[in-house]
Amino acid sequence: MINSLSEFKVTSAQAKENPDTFWSEIASEFQWKSPWKQTLDFDFSKPEIKWFVGGKLNITENCLDRYIETQPNKTAILFEPNDPTETAQHISYKKLHKRVCQTANMLKANGAKKGDRICIYMPMVPELAIAVLACARIGAIHSVVFAGFSATALAARINDASCSMLLTADGGFRGSKTIALKEIADEALVSCSTVNCCLVLQRTQQEVQWNSTDKWWHEELEKVDDNCPVEVMDSEDPLFILYTSGSTGKPKGMVHTCGGYMVYTAYTFKNVFQCQPNDVYWCTADIGWITGHSYIVYGPLANGATSVMFEGVPSYPAFDRFWEVCAKHKITHFYTAPTAIRALEKHPTSLVEKHDLSSLKVLGSVGEPINAEAWHWYDEHVGKHNCPIVDTWWQTETGGILISSLAGVTPQKPTFATLPMPGVQAVLLNNEGDEIEGEGEGILAIKHPWPSIARTIWGDYERYKNVYFSAYPGYYFPGDGALRDAEGNYRITGRVDDVVIVSGHNLGTAPIENAINEHSEVVESAVVGFPHDIKGNALCAYVIVRDMGVDSSTIEKEIREEVAKTIGPIAKPDRILVVSGLPKTRSGKIMRRILRKLAAGEHDQLGDISTLLNPEIVEEIKRQNS
Ligand code: WT7
């Protein structure tokens, strides 16, 4: 663990000078079935990236087996249910190991084998983490789909990876609601011919329909024992697929591999959060997102930490639930999203003050830029000016944190993610693709691979190459803009592509437009983001309809339903404007820049619109807006 600023500087310099030696020393702290022959083999121009080439391992041996010897009774997963009156579960490393082995055997007994893709569509209960680890143990590739996604979105992901199995639950508890997961899964499976087994966990006890491929989880578990040796995996074998949105309608199945992902998530967890043996670490994300994969499951467990899993929402039963849970479990590390902080900031601070938060040592932020107001509220009311805040910048594609301060070790700076992790060579590029030196603003890019960079997009290597390695040859291009101060600290300014981060969720505008265009009355649509108090960004949809005389409130309602159905409720636009045209260039390209300014209410900052094909439409939209 890096303990001081001077050590951080020395380490970063060494990692830059000789990345192979640096990463190979870190990797040797893990248990390998056989050692790697070459630390890194890469060529960004292809691109081809391989880490710890020829090494053999199983990530679950590193997360579980090695700790049942040294700390069998330490809590690995602390489960806090949605309902505060339901008892929390402390699952020790020994118990977790046993449950993972049993579950792995259940998967095998139902036909799963190494290399198979298994889709997991589950609520935030321990069995979700256990299922993820069980897949990893037998070498099946897990593809977790967030339980807020719709049947259409679930089916698209199952089919993209030709999953042979689906793991789901009867339902899930979320605040005062229950979500009918099995019902949604049933609807999805109608169009998924590759799935030949669906294992159903009982959580809500709600009534469900039963199909020939369905089996009850608890019944299947009874049939197997808990002896499950690990499958030996190649360092570069896929560990999982996780979908993220992009600038076309088709989600990108980012592929992460066993060796590099393990080494990098464990290394960054240890150094960013600086967890001590008796600490209780809580990341409030869902395992359906990369944050949950890397920093609820793999990173913390690979370090032998105690990781809290929370089934509920910050507002249930009241807006002090986060603080209540912090006090209840004496949380030391609290890692959440700016959108949650902004939502809670709107409520009286007495809701925070009434709970004893003295156990807190480190706070974290992830998912979008944290604005100054939220940063200071977090620092003052939650951290009592006593807890370092790590603002961690990274992506589904990067697997782990790339830019962040190290808690209490390197300086923090409000609204800045600060410095790259050792071994991460961040640069700023200008529009021509040249590196900017010193202070400046530009496009963020990474010059050298780190171990957990995604290796491909499942089934679409060409797209992987085009999206991430073609715009600026020789670099990995994340799609974010950034500025850098004189000390080298980075502040992420936001996306430079057609992705909008709404409440920390990465949403492509193209898939939403496609969904809207499904409506029979819609001719064309354009979706843009605009600043929002709580969500960071919200979505505004400009829609051209066939008959301008129709009742727009009905259409708006139907459009929202269509979007919820094809993508999920999180993608529903906040504002829908029925317009008679969209501002276009003479070549017919929609001027999204202008639509963004209009949605933000910046009517006088549109720049020169005289070159538009239809400048009059801008006036029409302005009138509608006011
Ligand atoms: C995009 C990636 C990282 C896991 C959760 C989101 C934005 C993420 C920060 C941050 C500013 C951030 C970026 C990035 N983002 N963290 N600390 N500061 N922006 O993963 O869904 O793949 O989204 O989230 O725009 O590209 P994701």
Nearest residue (by CA) to ligand 1, atom 5, is 367
Q: State how far Cα 409 lies from the chain centre.
A: 26
Sign for the CA dihedral angle at 22, 28, 29, 32 comes to positive
Q: 342 pLDDT exceeds 70?
A: yes
Ligand 1 proximity of 291 Cβ (cutoff 6 Å): yes
Block residue for tokens 């390695």: 469
Give one DSSP letter per residue of 299-338, joined into a string. HHHHTT-EEEEE-S-TTSSSTTHHHHHHHHTT-SEEEE-H
- Does the pLDDT of residue 352 top 90, yes or no? yes
Pocket test of ligand 1: the residue of 370, 443, 501, 537 to mutate, having most ligand atoms within 8 Å of its CB, is 501
Q: What is the best residue among 404, 490, 506 to mutate for testing ligand 1's pocket, by most ligand atoms within 8 Å of CB?
A: 506
**Has residue 590 got a pLDDT over 80?**
yes
Domain containing 509: what range? 503-625
Q: 490 in ligand 1 pocket by Cβ < 6 Å?
A: no
Q: Please report the pLDDT score of residue 592 as a whole number.
A: 87
CA atoms within 13 A on the CB side of 157: 32
Q: Give the number of domains in the chain.
A: 1
Specify whether the CB–CB gap between 243 and 143 falls below 8 A: yes
Phi, psi values for residue 374, rounded to 5°: -65, -40
336 lines ligand 1 (CB under 6 A): no
Is 100 among the domain residues? no
- The response to whether residue 417 sits with its C-beta less than 6 Å from ligand 1 reads yes
Distance CA 240, CA 476 (A): 21
Nearest CA to ligand 1 atom 2: 395
pLDDT score for 247: 66
Q: From the CB of 290, is ligand 1 less than 6 Å away?
A: yes
Ligand 1 atom showing the smallest separation from residue 404 Cα: 17
Q: Calculate the alpha carbon distances from 89 to 164, 219, 221 in Å.
A: 31, 21, 19
Residue 480 in contact with ligand 1 by CB distance below 6 A: yes
- Cβ atoms of 116 and 345 within 8 Å: the answer is no
Q: Of all residues in the chain, what percent carry a pLDDT higher than 90? A: 88
Q: Which of 298, 395, 403 to mutate to test the pocket of ligand 1 (most atoms within 8 A of CB)?
A: 395
455 vs 592, which has greater pLDDT? Answer: 455
Task: Return the ligand 1 atom nearest residue 392 CA.
Answer: 17
Ligand 1, atom 20: nearest CA belongs to which residue? 395
Q: How far is the CA of 420 from the centre of ligand 1 (A)?
A: 15
Query: Whose alpha carbon is nearest atom 1 of ligand 1?
Result: 395
- Is 43 buried (19+), middle (13-18) or exposed (0-12) by CB count in 10 A? exposed
pLDDT band at 546 (very low <50, low <70, confident <90, very high): confident
**Does residue 398 line the site of ligand 1, with CB under 6 A?**
no
Residue with tokens 């899964």: 185
Cβ 337 under 6 angstroms from ligand 1:
no
Q: What is the mean pLDDT of residues 434-441?
A: 97
Separation CA 215–CA 197 (nearest Å) = 8
Confidence check: pLDDT of 378 > 90: yes
Within a domain: residue 395? Answer: no
- The pick from 297, 366, 391, 402 for probing ligand 1's pocket by mutation, whose C-beta has the most ligand atoms within 8 angstroms, reads 366
Top mutation candidate among 252, 264, 368, 490 for ligand 1, by most atoms within 8 Å of CB: 368
In this prediction, residue 364 carries a pLDDT of: 98
Q: Is residue 575 one of the residues assigned to a domain?
A: yes
> Higher confidence at residue 626 or residue 104?
104
Q: Looking at the predicted structure, is the pLDDT value of residue 249 above 70? A: no
- Mean per-residue pLDDT, 223-237: 98
How far is the C-alpha of 37 from the C-alpha of 40, rounded, in Å?
Answer: 9
SS3 label, residue 18: coil
Q: Does residue 198 fall inside a structural domain?
A: no
Q: For the segment 489-510, what is each residue's pLDDT rounded down to a tens digit?
A: 999 988 888 889 999 899 989 8
Mean pLDDT score of the chain: 95
Nearest ligand 1 atom to alpha carbon 478? 26
Query: Can you spell out the DSSP letters for 74-127?
Result: SEEEEEE-SSTTSPPEEEEHHHHHHHHHHHHHHHHHTT--TT-EEEEE--SSHH
Question: Predicted confidence band at 150 (pLDDT cuts at 50, 70, 90)?
Answer: very high
Atom from ligand 1 closest to the CA of residue 506: 21
Taking only the tens place, the pLDDT of each residue in 607-623 is 778 777 888 999 999 98
- Segment 17-31 shows an average pLDDT of 98
3-state SS, 42-75, equals EECCCCEEEEEECCEECHHHHHHHHHHHHCCCCE
Q: Please tell me if the CB atom of residue 367 comes closer than 6 angstroms to any atom of ligand 1.
A: yes
Q: What is the pLDDT of residue 460?
A: 97
Does 170 map to a domain? no
Q: How far apart are CA 450 and CA 458, in angstroms?
A: 20
**CA dist., res. 388 & res. 334, Å (int):** 11
- Would you state the pLDDT for residue 613? 82
What stretches of 363-453 show up as alpha helix (H) in DSSP? 372-377
Looking at residue 549, its pLDDT comes to 83
Q: Is there an atom of ligand 1 within 6 Å of 295 CB?
A: no
CB atoms under 10 Å from CB of 89, counted, come to 15
In a domain, 612, yes or no: yes
pLDDT surpasses 90 at 154: yes
396 lines ligand 1 (CB under 6 A): yes
Pocket flag, ligand 1, residue 369 (CB < 6 Å)? yes
As a whole number, mean pLDDT of residues 163-187 equals 98
Q: What pLDDT sits at residue 428? A: 98
Pocket test for ligand 1, best of 393, 412, 507, 570 (most atoms within 8 A of CB): 393
β-strand 280-283 against 56-57: which pairing, if any?
unpaired
Q: What is the rounded end-to-end Cα distance, in angstroms, of the chain? A: 55
> In terms of Cα–Cα distance, which of 449, 452, 454, 455 is closest to 423?
449
- The answer to the question of residue 301 being in a domain is no
- Cβ atoms of 474 and 447 within 8 Å: the answer is yes
User: Of 46-50, 115-119, 545-549, which range is least confident?
Assistant: 545-549
Q: Ligand 1 centre and the CA of 381: distance in Å?
A: 24
Measured in Å, residue 512 CA sits from the centre of ligand 1 at: 19
Of 552, 550, 574, 551, which Cα lies nearest the Cα of 563? 574
Q: Which residues, in sequence order, are bridge partners of residue 119?
A: 143, 166
Cα–ligand 1 centroid distance for 223 (angstroms):
42
Instruction: Give me the mean pLDDT over the 588-595 stretch.
Output: 84
In a domain, 187, yes or no: no
Judge whether residue 585 has pLDDT over 90.
no
Task: Say if ligand 1 is within 6 A of residue 262 CB.
Answer: no
pLDDT in tens, 259-284: 999 999 999 999 999 999 999 999 99
Ramachandran region, residue 594 (left: φ > 0; alpha: ψ -120 to 50; beta: rest): alpha
**CA 379 from centre of chain:** 24
**CATH number of the domain within which 514 lies:** 3.30.300.30
- Per-residue model confidence as pLDDT tens digits over 442-461: 999 999 999 999 999 999 99
